[in-house]
Amino acid sequence: MNKRISKRVPFRIPVKFGQQNECTLTGLGIDISKTGFCIKTNSVYPPGTLINILVHYNNEIFHATGTVVWAKKVPPSLIYTVKAGMGIRFKNIDIGFKNMIIEKTEK
């Protein structure tokens, strides 16, 4: 059963993330929707954790905050062969980032 409330689309983009004011961890955004984002990484936070996200796109830097919904860490050798990383539900998003998400998801 799919619990998602918004359509997700593939969207590969490098991201930085972390807690509070630090975004020192890196990952790869692999899909996006109006309500959330999947980050492929082995630096996961437990579900329920509020994180900050920085996305560099088209020479702009976008900021968002979100809550970790699911997290799965795997051995480094498997990171690209099995589902790993975190599912994030957006809490706050820059208006530019929000507009870009709408553009990507409504094609």
- CATH number for the domain spanning 100: value is 2.40.10.220
Whether 54 is in a domain gets the answer: yes
Q: pLDDT (tens digit, 9 = 90+) per residue, 25-69?
A: 999 999 999 999 999 998 999 999 999 999 988 888 999 999 999
3-state secondary structure of 35: coil
What is the pLDDT at residue 3? 61
For the chain, the first-to-last Cα distance in angstroms comes to: 25
Q: Indicate the number of domains in the chain.
A: 1
The pLDDT of residue 79 is above 70: yes
Domain enclosing residue 55, as ranges = 9-105
Whether 27 is in a domain gets the answer: yes
Q: pLDDT (tens digit, 9 = 90+) per residue, 21-34?
A: 889 999 999 999 99
Query: d(Cα 74, Cα 32) in Å, to the nearest integer?
Result: 22
Judge whether 16 and 28 are in contact, CB under 8 Å: no
Whether 42 is in a domain gets the answer: yes
Whether 74 is in a domain gets the answer: yes
Tokens read off for 83: 């589902």
